[in-house]
Amino acid sequence: MIKINQNYLKLPGGYLFPEIGRRVRAFENPSKPLIRLGIGDVTRPLAPAVIEAMHKAVEEMGHKDTFRGYCEETCGAYDFLRFAIRDDYLRRGVDIADDEIFVSDGAKSDCGNIGDILDADNVVAVCDPVYPVYVDTSAMAGRAGEYNGTHWTNLIYMPCTAENDFIPELPERVPDIIYLCFPNNPTGAVATKEQLKLWVDYARSHGSLILYDGAYEAFISEPDIPHSIFEIEGAKECAIEFRSFSKTAGFTGTRCAYTVIPKALELGGGNLNAMWNRRQSTKFNGVPYVIQRAAEATLTEAGRAQTQETIRYYMNNAKVIRDGLSKAGLQVYGGVNAPYIWFRTPDGMDSWKFFDRLLYEACVVTTPGAGFGPSGEGYIRVTAFGDAEATYEAVERILSVM
Ligand SMILES: *Cc1c(COP(=O)(O)O)cnc(C)c1O
């Protein structure tokens, strides 16, 4: 008789966004239309340069001479896209070889799937609060232990709170795998070169692997903040980086991302680049040609200018939210180098309780910090990905109920 992966049965049921959905649906007669600043999805359309590239690629697919079937190049990624990504790294002085870049359908898939090439006994460290994918995929692979109602017994939780400026401290128990994400979802925090250097040195001295999620690097506005872990000396010997076109260029529904695995990454008796190449060429057949052309277009001069314009639009929302909530006397974090604003609930109120209050009194949907981990309790996340007018209105409403 077949046996199932028992780890799936250990996962707690009420995942954050379904629970938010339930509460929103249960709120039957809102006095005003709801404004949703909860889920971190983008709202602005794709850039004209992207649409143009997609149209052109679609046309090519309709002609015998330019039709494309399976992509024969590295793991289903066309050279034109990998070379454009390599050039993008070069702009920040980071030299990545084209065969260190693996294109995929999403950073979410990659940061979970990477566990395929790593042993189930590895000890995993995550920031707390955290993007839930790292935790749940660790649990599915049997790396998280048991869920005790608040924590997974085998995970190392690294609290990130206002007290440590939302930067995790080096843990006492040494992890084998360390998930880091900067700019951070949900806190909006960024790490400086010096702070990342500490982590790179720590990982190298213990033979640990850093899984670095840079999905929000394009939102960094301050100079001197690293956009890539590979800006840190020694990172090529201890880190893998995930990046995505999702937030950078509005590709959440278009789907394209990439993962950088340096060839110098010889850990635990294997070459991780070669192993991931083997894994992807066996289990994955690449991203559609049309989508890879779309992704390439975001890295052209016109594409860059247009996507930058959209990012400015979102970051202006972020400023409106930051300024408004600060004026209401709230302690506000993030929103300068990230499209997320993270604020403390007034008087240390329970985050689900304050979420309900904002829902019922202001008709604004947010995300309760507790949904991102135990140390998220007492905080609320608001996204800057909404419509500018609606965002302005949402802030006015929050101010009026404070
Ligand atoms: C949105 C997001 C991603 C992007 O995931 P995709 O699968 O590429 O859409 C990755 N990491 C974090 C932390 C995110 O918030």
- pLDDT given for residue 14 in this prediction: 64
Joined tokens for residue 59:
């046309």
The whole-chain average pLDDT of the chain stands at 96
250 Cβ closer than 6 Å to some ligand 1 atom: no
132 Cβ closer than 6 Å to some ligand 1 atom: no
- Of 291, 240, 368, the residue nearest 81 (C-alpha): 291
SS3 127: strand
Calpha distance 284→291 (Å, rounded): 16
The residue to mutate among 247, 256, 298, having the most atoms of ligand 1 within 8 angstroms of its beta carbon, is 247
Q: What is the pLDDT of residues 140-183, one digit of tens each?
A: 999 999 999 999 999 999 999 999 999 999 999 999 999 999 99
- The average pLDDT across 199-215 equals 98
Calpha distance 175→205 (Å, rounded): 12
Joined tokens for residue 315:
């970051």
Q: What is the pLDDT of residues 379-396, one digit of tens each?
A: 999 999 999 999 999 999
pTM higher than the cut 0.75: yes
Calpha distance 391→49 (Å, rounded): 27
Contact of 145 with 152, CB cutoff 8 Å: yes
Beta strand ranges found along 264-391 (DSSP E): 266-267, 270-271, 332-334, 340-344, 364-365, 367-368, 379-383
- Measured in Å, residue 108 CA sits from the centre of ligand 1 at 5
